Structure 1
């Protein structure tokens, strides 16, 4: 081969290497851009993951608060049911006379049955006003009862 042909071949090889170098440079640039984009996505996913974890903790707290054990209520007899219904259907607290009238139960036994209801698991709230005791079913229990029965 002649020197001229060798120089032409060397020039072709140089142009080929230059083309390969440009192509590799473009690929490297694209890879760097994609890496930056992937890093941004990764950071965003970590942010979302932290938010999901916080929400999960809040949900767990709410579930723990709402998982109060189902209160055990012993079966009520007919008179206890009457007194329970008188209290359950009334929004305001009632005294013994009002309970007696509303439930059609003799006044002397109302206190006994209120004690019996309390012992069987019915949460009664007591309040005192003008030397009288007023009774009311706990509002939280009424809400729970309405949701579950």
Structure 2
């Protein structure tokens, strides 16, 4: 069985390669929140391309999980309210930051974008603080 760190490495390589291919093929940054925004704005062929990208972004890990990792445990909560609130907060954060982890973290940092670097430092620090508070102080997770 492949250890967790190798799965993380392979996933990171796949995301990085996808970002490079997207930039080379479209001349645009592969930021998931911007791509989803193009679906919402429904701008003709851009919306269709964006929808295909999002569908592949959902389908690829699902296929990998079903084919190579059947029965893998996750630690996702079964509380749908927590999942919904977390999703809304992530969406709000991407709107405030003018981008998401793929746009700022993967593509922005690789291009040495000051805005991407600052955004990545802020969302990483926020995530670390949130987990520390919810796990060690509030003992919720």
Q: Same fold (TM over 0.5)?
A: no
Higher helix share: 2
Largest Rg, 1 or 2: 1
| Normalised TM-score (structure 1) | 0.24
| Structure with higher RCO (Cα < 8 A, 6+ apart) | 2
Higher strand share: 1
